[in-house]
Amino acid sequence: MLLTLTTTPPPGQPWPATDLGFVLMKHPQRVLERELPFGKAVVFYPEASSERTTAALLLEVDPVALSRTTRAGDGAPLEPYVNDRPYAAGSFLAVALRDAFGTAMTGKSRERQELADTPLPLTVEVPCIASRGPADLPRNLFGPLGYDVQTQPIPLDPLYPEWGERPYVKLKLSGTVKVAQLLKHLYVLLPVLDGKKHYYLNDTEVDKLLRHGEGWLDTHPQRDLITARYLRFRDLVRQADTHFTVWEEEDVAEPKEIKPRLHDGRLDAAAQVLKDSGATRVLDLGCGEGKLLRRLLPAPQFRELVGLDISARTLELAAGKLKLDDRPELRERVKLLHGSLSYPDSRLKGFDAAALVEVIEHLEPHRLEALTENVFGFARPETVVLTTPNAEYNATFAEPQTRRHADHRFEWTRAEFQGWASTAAEQYGYSVRFEPLGDIHPEYGPITQMAVFTR
């Protein structure tokens, strides 16, 4: 893998191009070699003159070292040795970038701080990068950040054109930007382009994304896509989402109506159903960080609120958002339980109502029967409100997709959802009604579908 970073100062600038070395903290006349767990990274300067200077990062991935870090069951026996990882840029190159230019990413420079604080004319070239997604994905990711984006498709094999060109492209980015900001953009978006990561993901990934995305990710039009592909797992995405603004910024000169995000609309609708049901003891199944519970808490109608989630870390965040440690009076009224809907849980019995807001699509299809039995047959609340995406609506998006989120295991059409819900209602002694949520397309129906079960 290779990445080059070139600067050509405009005429009349008081600094030579070789001063790029002061910002990168790498001397143009030296070669730096760094050993990494999966190979070796080399930083060098193919050209260094006052008019034009290029810094290069060359990463040589060792297939044997890579195979030794691969966990059992990650693929076929030869996959660690025979794949595109040594050639196509992605998360390996992002890790090498941070290792080689970690100081530069902080925006600090011992000798030329004023230069580190100045947007410079920079060009980045990556001869081969995996771009798994729509053909215009590189432009959609880097374009809103102010870069001129050029891509050139790379055929899988020139001798067999029928194999196609994607997912590999040659990438060139040009723009006037601070070096630290450029490095952060690359660090986050190279793995997003690839759509894969070579290492285990945990809570520290959220901190990395928020730290390197500060100042640009919150307002990026592809923020949800970036977050989903960078973090991959639902509970990690939820953690990141709580740090972003709920309302989109509008032009102050021309005020416009501000619309709530779709997720807020779902929660508001579910909360209203629960209030109208007359319930006093409510379960939030798959509660996440407690957004629905926070909507129900101000209503004195609800004497007991219980949230259940499979992620212990997410429950910790929910407790913080609900301020349970700061408000001891809530501890008898609000409880957070660690558990799974795939198994019967006696703690969930005897409640008036339960909510499953955007939960079922995250389960493997073979676990739906267990969920249905545990919720409707075992816990048996009087009222159940359940929402899930309408797969038909996906055809209306600018980039049609089969699923809206990387962690969705399935998405149902209206007929599929109503078929499942009607069967469950009949089997366990409930009636069910269906309501649309959010925008409604005349042909494809609502963006979200809701079912309300009454025992």
For 203-261, write each residue's pLDDT tens digit: 778 888 888 888 898 888 888 889 888 887 777 777 777 776 543 333 333 333 334 46
Residue 66 banded pLDDT, cuts 50, 70, 90: low
Residue 417 banded pLDDT, cuts 50, 70, 90: very high
> To which CATH superfamily is domain 262-454 assigned?
Vaccinia Virus protein VP39 (3.40.50.150)
Please answer whether residues 90 and 191 qualify as being in contact, where contact means their C-beta atoms are separated by less than 8 angstroms.
yes
pLDDT at 233: 74
pLDDT at 259: 44
Residues 6+ apart with CB under 8 A from 204: none
Residue 399 banded pLDDT, cuts 50, 70, 90: low
Lowest-pLDDT range of 76-80, 112-116, 339-343, 347-351? 76-80
In order, the DSSP letters of 200-243 are ---HHHHHHHHHHTTTTTTT-TTHHHHHHHHH-SHHHHHHHHTT
More confident residue, 335 or 262: 335
User: DSSP secondary-structure letter at 390?
Assistant: B
Q: What is the mean pLDDT of the chain?
A: 85
Q: Averaged over 325-343, what is the pLDDT?
A: 86
pLDDT at 215: 86
pLDDT at 335: 94
Q: Averaged over 413-429, what is the pLDDT?
A: 96
Residue 419: strand, helix, or coil: helix
pLDDT at 77: 58
- Please give the share of the chain, as a percent, with pLDDT higher than 70: 87
| Cα–Cα distance measured from residue 327 to residue 329, given in angstroms and rounded to the nearest whole number | 5
Lowest-pLDDT range of 13-22, 155-164, 421-430? 155-164
358 pLDDT higher than 60 = yes
Which tokens belong to 128? Answer: 């081969």
Sign of CA dihedral 370, 372, 376, 377: negative
Highest average pLDDT, of 67-81, 236-250, 391-405, comes from 391-405
Highest average pLDDT, of 310-324, 369-383, 393-407, comes from 369-383
Domain boundaries, the chain: 2-199, 262-454
Q: Averaged over 434-447, what is the pLDDT?
A: 92
Q: Name the pairing type of β-strands 2-7 and 120-130.
A: antiparallel
pLDDT at 251: 35
Lowest-pLDDT range of 45-49, 52-56, 308-312, 418-422? 308-312
Residue 65 banded pLDDT, cuts 50, 70, 90: low
pLDDT at 87: 74
| Cα–Cα distance measured from residue 19 to residue 244, given in angstroms and rounded to the nearest whole number | 36
Lowest-pLDDT range of 146-150, 202-206, 293-297? 202-206
332 pLDDT higher than 60 = yes
Nearest Cα to Cα of residue 85 among 196, 226, 4: 196
Lowest-pLDDT range of 62-71, 109-118, 179-188, 309-318? 62-71
158 pLDDT higher than 80 = no
pLDDT at 198: 62
Residue 370: strand, helix, or coil: helix
CATH 3.20.20.70 fits 2-199, yes or no: no
User: What residue type is 452 in one-letter code?
Assistant: V
pLDDT at 401: 64
Residues 6+ apart with CB under 8 A from 254: none
Alpha helices, DSSP H only, in 277-406?
291-296, 312-322, 368-372
| Cα–Cα distance measured from residue 412 to residue 124, given in angstroms and rounded to the nearest whole number | 42
pLDDT at 200: 61
Nearest-5° Cα angle at 369, 368 to 370: 90
Q: Averaged over 394-404, what is the pLDDT?
A: 74
10 Å Cβ neighbour count for 261?
15
Alpha helices, DSSP H only, in 10-136?
20-24, 63-69, 91-100, 102-105, 113-116
More confident residue, 451 or 402: 451
Residue 40: strand, helix, or coil: strand
List, edge to edge, every strand of the sheet that includes 304-309: 334-338, 304-309, 281-285, 353-357, 383-389, 445-454, 431-441
- Please give the share of the chain, as a percent, with pLDDT higher than 90: 50
User: What residue type is 148 in one-letter code?
Assistant: D
Cis geometry, peptide bond prior to residue 167 (ω within 30 degrees of 0):
yes
Type and span of the H or E element at 267: helix 262-276
- pTM score: 0.55
| Cα–Cα distance measured from residue 16 to residue 36, given in angstroms and rounded to the nearest whole number | 32
307 pLDDT higher than 80 = yes
Cα separations in angstroms, 206 against 155, 243, 361: 35, 10, 23
C-alpha distance across the termini of the chain, in Å: 60
Cα separations in angstroms, 242 against 57, 174, 237, 320, 397: 35, 32, 9, 12, 25
**203 backbone dihedrals φ, ψ, rounded to 5°:** -60, -25
